[in-house]
Chains A and B, each alone.
Chain A
Amino acid sequence: MTGNKTAAVLAAILLLLRLLLPGAARQLASALREALVGELGWESVEALGRSVAQSPG
């Protein structure tokens, strides 16, 4: 139960930090995205989404 409480407190701090320091969160998100998918941006995923309705059938 202590583990659950500690995790809940840490999670709340993280979410609060995101609200208070959105710039830092955005920078971290951008760095993480680049590490995970390289130069591939959301535009490519959007293009993939657009292509679903355009595909035959």
Chain B
Amino acid sequence: MRGSLLRVSPEALLALALFVYVSETRFLLALFPAVLLHELGHLLALRLLGVRAAALRPELTGLRIDYAAVGSPAEELLAAAAGPAAGLCYAWLASRLGARLSDEVLLLSAGLSLALSMFNLLPAPPLDGGRIAAALLSLWPGGETGERLARLLGALTTLSLCAAGLRTLLRGKGAALCLAGALLAAEQLKALRRSRAACGYGGCRPPGTPRRPGGSPPSRTASGRRPAPPRR
């Protein structure tokens, strides 16, 4: 699969097959357009900004889009917000159409799209909301303080999600929130470990210097996400 835009790892392929195996057809039919529209929103925004997507990677936390760095925080904000915006527009359209046609799959799709978009707007990396928060905080207060605030906001959001998930789990209302919180926490720990390793080998960049000069391209996911989720 090398050379093509879609890069599927063996783990992702298995997880996807397992997901399709255990999911009801109705749920898959409802989820597919919601995820597709979310990702198309991101891809359209990147295209409008003149940025080419290098790869699409399905992951456990969602679909990740790798792309070359965008020019400014405002453009990063636009690219990140485009996915949830497209998801919310689709939710509204599917809801109206579903209500008019009394179609359960369309209504389910609208509900899933709304839930996915709202979850993706949580201000925690690697979700779209985390990227939006990072872009806003890089405008003000900016620099190292902005980056630290973005990380802190992400950690607080993830902790709150884990706490809410644990409460829901203990009340016997399922493990979904808890699982989402745990996946987010794992992603953030992975990113923290990567940045610490980079500091250890190459030295940390001084405050105010441009991010990633000649380094690997940034990436994002949608959800659920993903999120995927990096939304996720």
Is the pair A35, B21 in contact by a Cβ cutoff of 8 Å? no
Chain B contacts with A in 148-195, Cβ cutoff 8 A: 168, 172-176, 179
Q: How large is the interface on B (under 10, 10 to 19, 20 to 34, 35 or more residues)?
A: 35 or more
Interface pair A52/B14, CB less than 8 Å apart: no
Chain A residues whose C-beta falls within 8 Å of the C-beta of B91 in the assembled complex: 49, 52
Contact of B174 (CB < 8 Å), options: A11, A38, A47:
A38
Measured CB to CB, the residues of B under 8 A from A are: 1, 10-11, 13-14, 16-18, 20-24, 26-27, 91-92, 94-96, 98-99, 104, 106-115, 168, 172-176, 179
Asked if residues A6 and B10 are in contact (CB atoms below 8 Å), the reply is yes
A37 to B20, CA, bound (A): 18
Q: Are A50 and B98 in contact (CB under 8 A)?
A: yes
A46:B108 contact, CB within 8 angstroms: yes
How many angstroms from the CA of A20 to the CA of B109 in the assembled complex?
27
A25 and B108 within 8 A (CB)? no
Count of A interface residues, CB-CB < 8 Å: 36
A14 to B95, CA, bound (A): 33
A45 partner, pick from B23, B92, B96, B111, beta carbons under 8 A: B111
State the CA gap A4–B106 with chains docked (Å).
35
The residues in A between 16 and 57 inclusive whose CB is less than 8 angstroms from any CB of B are: 17-18, 25-26, 28-29, 32, 34-40, 42, 44-54
